[in-house]
Chains A and B, each alone.
Chain A
Amino acid sequence: MLLEVKELTVSLASGKRISEHISFQVEKGEMLSIVGSSGAGKTTICMAVMGLLGTSYKTQGKVIFHEKDILTMHEKERRQIYGKEICYIMQNPMTAFNPSIKIGRQLERTYLQHHNHITKAEMLIIQEKILQKLGLEDTERILKSYPFMLSGGMLQRLMIAAALINQPQVLVADETTTAIDACNRMELMEELRKLCDEGMSILFVTHDISLTAYSDKILIMNRGKVIESGMTKNVLENPKEEYTEHLLYACHLERRSF
């Protein structure tokens, strides 16, 4: 088992629970989708898995990666895992880059965080390869520009590039496809699927149930609780809960309105 979340409960200092008893497992080369409407606690789970929740939250349960609990790990040890083994793609690409450093330099620093020093030419090859893989052309210009010079869609993909540059084992993608148009979204999902087939595990968080068709397993959340889970095909074809049916219905309705 690569990543296992056991009975994860996140609550505020006041005692209000944001998510309760969340458990799931992600195996190597598997894509797990977490679906739910806004405020269902999807992002909170991602943050908890990434150890990003501040002191105002209380976390109970276990997040086990390679048989070690990340939540109780020492900070130094954790730093070795984040960015190298587990990477996170942030929700808002516009603010996720340092505004005062050029994109190329930021990608380089992300890489050097976990690797030994390499020459400029070698770095450029790595960067170009990864950008082209994500369908970004004109790499030279992109690498030399500041974040505010690029569009949201481009930054979104660069965000993914920054996550992939260290070749992580687990990728946590939080609403990654929201800033991208429908056409590119499909391409991106296919790209993510391909990464999965190459052995990467992906935790894919979305509010759009139609995108889960690319994933192996699905987890449906409502108000901080998991209400349905299983193989994507089974859940989408025979939903057991009313809420799941509601989500699917809303998705169909959206299609028909065109």
Chain B
Amino acid sequence: MKRKVQITAGIMLITFFVLVAVCAPIFAPHNPNTTNLAMKNAAPCMEYPFGCDQLGRCELSRLMYGARYSLGLSIPVLFALAVTALFFGCYSCYKGGIFSEIIRLLCDILMAFPVLVIAMALVTSFDSPTACIIIAISISMLAWFLRMVRSYAKTECGKEYIEAAQISGASGLRIVFRHLIPNVLPQFVVYFTTGIASVIISISSFAFLGVGLVQGTAEWGAMLNDARNSIYTNPSLIIYPGICLVICCAGFNLLGEGLRDAIGKEDETNAS
């Protein structure tokens, strides 16, 4: 029962933010970048429901457009990473040998660098801020994804049904696609959803530190950074993007935890 509530709550929160991000141009009351200096630090009113920031930009519109950066970057990038990790992780585990060792070594090397360090190193060599963020996230997350997939795949490879498939004459690729990936997937989906939450936070922390995105972009992390100066005069500017970040990440984490419990339950019933 509890896990059902968790999963439903998670899905509802995620759907809400996805809808907001997709429909931002329709629902946002103002352009997020139009400044109106007469309304500097304005309190919430009918025209500006969440008030205005220090440059007189509509806070609500900026929050709505902010969802586009967080979700629009993290979900597609992670999805591509997940597909790559699933294939290479499973295949290397199944084949073993030198290929597997190379992948393992690569993971170890990539995991040694914190994501922020990579992003800062890249920012000097790339013109496009989004490309810099995407590459930094890819480098740091791919290693973790590959590691997870490989550990799950190792367990599955030891099970007899893989042997059974082998002796029924199935080829390596067939075993990977038909037997290994479908059985690794449920556990991996859990890791994937929680991974999205952590990537949303890293994107925001890049923006907060000014790495990557252009100054003044309507992104939650960047908004937090902008609002730092008015922490005493107008603290609500810090609270709004903060709450958005927390709720959005909570949505993905709730879904992930709910799914993990659900899968765990299934395993228990299998065993008994």
Q: Footprint of B on A, CB under 8 Å?
A: 50, 52, 55, 79-84, 87-88, 90-92, 95-101, 109-110, 113-114, 148, 162, 166
Neighbouring B residues of A55 by C-beta, 8 Å: 96-97
From A82, A101, A114, A148, B270 is in contact (CB under 8 Å) with: A148
Q: How far is the CB of B250 from chain A (nearest CB, A)?
A: 30
A96 to B179, CA, bound (A): 12
Q: How far is the CB of A54 from chain B (nearest CB, A)?
A: 8
Is B183's beta carbon under 8 Å from chain A?
Answer: yes
Please count the residue pairs between chain A and chain B whose beta carbons lie under 8 angstroms apart in the complex: 62
A209 to B171, CA, bound (A): 37
Is the beta-carbon distance between A98 and B161 smaller than 8 angstroms? Answer: yes
Neighbouring A residues of B166 by C-beta, 8 Å: 52, 82
From A52, A91, A113, A162, B169 is in contact (CB under 8 Å) with: A113
A99 to B269, CA, bound (A): 13
Is the beta-carbon distance between A113 and B160 smaller than 8 angstroms? Answer: no
Q: Do A83 and B167 form a contact, CB below 8 Å, given A99-B183, A100-B182, A101-B182?
A: yes
Is B178's beta carbon under 8 Å from chain A?
Answer: yes
Q: Do A82 and B178 form a contact, CB below 8 Å, given A95-B159, A95-B160, A99-B270?
A: no
Is the beta-carbon distance between A82 and B168 smaller than 8 angstroms? Answer: yes
B contact residues, total (Cβ < 8 Å) = 20
Is the beta-carbon distance between A96 and B178 smaller than 8 angstroms? Answer: no
Q: Do A98 and B183 form a contact, CB below 8 Å, given A90-B160, A90-B163?
A: yes
Return the chain A residue nearest B164 by Cβ.
A96
Q: How far is the CB of A156 from chain B (nearest CB, A)?
A: 13
Is the beta-carbon distance between A79 and B161 smaller than 8 angstroms? Answer: no
B261-272 Cβ-contact flags toward A at 8 Å (1 or 0) = 000000001100
Is the beta-carbon distance between A84 and B169 smaller than 8 angstroms? Answer: yes
Neighbouring B residues of A91 by C-beta, 8 Å: 160
Q: How far is the CB of A155 from chain B (nearest CB, A)?
A: 11
Q: How far is the CB of A208 from chain B (nearest CB, A)?
A: 21
Is the beta-carbon distance between B183 and A79 smaller than 8 angstroms? Answer: no
A99 to B164, CA, bound (A): 13
A110 to B174, CA, bound (A): 12
Return the chain A residue nearest B182 by Cβ.
A100
Return the chain B residue nearest A95 by Cβ.
B160
Q: Footprint of A on B, CB under 8 Å?
A: 96-97, 159-161, 163-171, 178-179, 182-183, 269-270
Is the beta-carbon distance between A113 and B179 smaller than 8 angstroms? Answer: no
Return the chain B residue nearest A147 by Cβ.
B161
Is the beta-carbon distance between A88 and B167 smaller than 8 angstroms? Answer: yes
Q: How far is the CB of A255 from chain B (nearest CB, A)?
A: 32
Neighbouring A residues of B161 by C-beta, 8 Å: 95-99
Q: How far is the CB of B113 from chain A (nearest CB, A)?
A: 33
Q: How far is the CB of A130 from chain B (nearest CB, A)?
A: 15
Q: How far is the CB of A166 from chain B (nearest CB, A)?
A: 8
Q: Do A50 and B270 form a contact, CB below 8 Å, given A95-B160, A97-B161?
A: no
Is the beta-carbon distance between B169 and A114 smaller than 8 angstroms? Answer: yes
Q: How far is the CB of B39 from chain A (nearest CB, A)?
A: 57
From A82, A100, A114, A162, B183 is in contact (CB under 8 Å) with: A100
A99 to B179, CA, bound (A): 9
Neighbouring A residues of B269 by C-beta, 8 Å: 148
A166 to B167, CA, bound (A): 12
Interface centre among B159, B165, B169 (most CB of A within 10 A): B169
Neighbouring B residues of A114 by C-beta, 8 Å: 169
Q: Do A92 and B182 form a contact, CB below 8 Å, given A52-B167, A87-B167, A148-B270?
A: no
Neighbouring B residues of A162 by C-beta, 8 Å: 164, 168
Q: Do A52 and B171 form a contact, CB below 8 Å, given A98-B179, A99-B270?
A: no
A90 to B168, CA, bound (A): 12
Neighbouring A residues of B169 by C-beta, 8 Å: 79-84, 113-114
Q: How far is the CB of B182 from chain A (nearest CB, A)?
A: 5
Is the beta-carbon distance between B160 and A79 smaller than 8 angstroms? Answer: no
18 contacts between A and B (CB under 8 A): A50-B167, A55-B97, A80-B169, A82-B166, A82-B169, A84-B169, A87-B168, A88-B167, A91-B160, A92-B160, A96-B163, A98-B179, A98-B182, A99-B183, A109-B178, A110-B168, A113-B168, A162-B168
Q: How far is the CB of B252 from chain A (nearest CB, A)?
A: 24
- In addition to A82-B167, A83-B167, 5 A-B residue pairs with Cβ atoms within 8 Å of each other are A83-B168, A84-B169, A88-B167, A98-B183, A109-B178
Q: How far is the CB of B181 from chain A (nearest CB, A)?
A: 10
Q: How far is the CB of A191 from chain B (nearest CB, A)?
A: 21
Q: How far is the CB of B138 from chain A (nearest CB, A)?
A: 29
Return the chain A residue nearest B175 by Cβ.
A98
Q: How far is the CB of B171 from chain A (nearest CB, A)?
A: 7
Q: How far is the CB of B120 from chain A (nearest CB, A)?
A: 43
